[in-house]
Amino acid sequence: MTAKTVSEIVRLGPVIPVLAFDTVEQGEQVSRALHAGGVKVLEITLRTPAGLGAIERACGLADDIVVGVGTLTKPEHCAQAKKAGAQFGVSPGLTKELHQAAQDAGLPLLPGVMTPSDIILALELGYDIVKFFPAQQAGGVPMLQAFHGPFPALKFCPTGGITAESAPHFLALPNVVCVGGSWLTPKSALAAQNWEEVTRLARAASQLAAPAH
């Protein structure tokens, strides 16, 4: 698959599932189930030791699947993720060192921001799309509405505490391009290996849109 920019990736669907796997095998099954439900973009986090292996496995599942690595917190993670096949990176925050490491690795980055100072740093480094994290805890929809005034050109992918019920309200905002969420992979479904439920939730998420006004 040809390399995509973050701008292209975030527009491939309204929801990017945020994933953490216990094993590489679980990662493959869940990734397959999500893709069957129409989800094209996956964010597989490095929160568990299975992360890099799951990324490698997911990349080979389909030609139209775009696999990103989440929870990038150290510069060395960028090269490791790129080597595993990740096509983009997602970080909870941003430093100049992390930015440089992503550039050096050729890994398009969706950096996390929470405050106006974070946003100004991201803009200085050339980002026009950022992750707002943790979205719900950091002020949710009203905070993103407030950011739109001083930062009118910036687009957001809010992640953290978002649910199937609240997602449409985020997607209705003019400065939101997509949302990140973990509700597509409930712990109960994963424990029961109920991949049909994951596919059902993925299908519903793929059809989410902003509520009609």
Active-site annotation, residues: 43, 131
| First and final C-alpha spacing in the chain | 38
Alpha-carbon distance of 58 to 19, in angstroms, equals: 12
Cα angle: 12, vertex 55, 114; to 5 degrees: 60
- What b/e string do you get for 121-153 counting C-beta neighbours within 10 Å, with b at 16 or more? bbeebebebbbbbbbbebbbbebbeebeeebee
Question: How is residue 37 written in tokens?
Answer: 């439900």
Alpha-carbon distance of 91 to 139, in angstroms, equals: 19
Alpha-carbon distance of 70 to 74, in angstroms, equals: 11
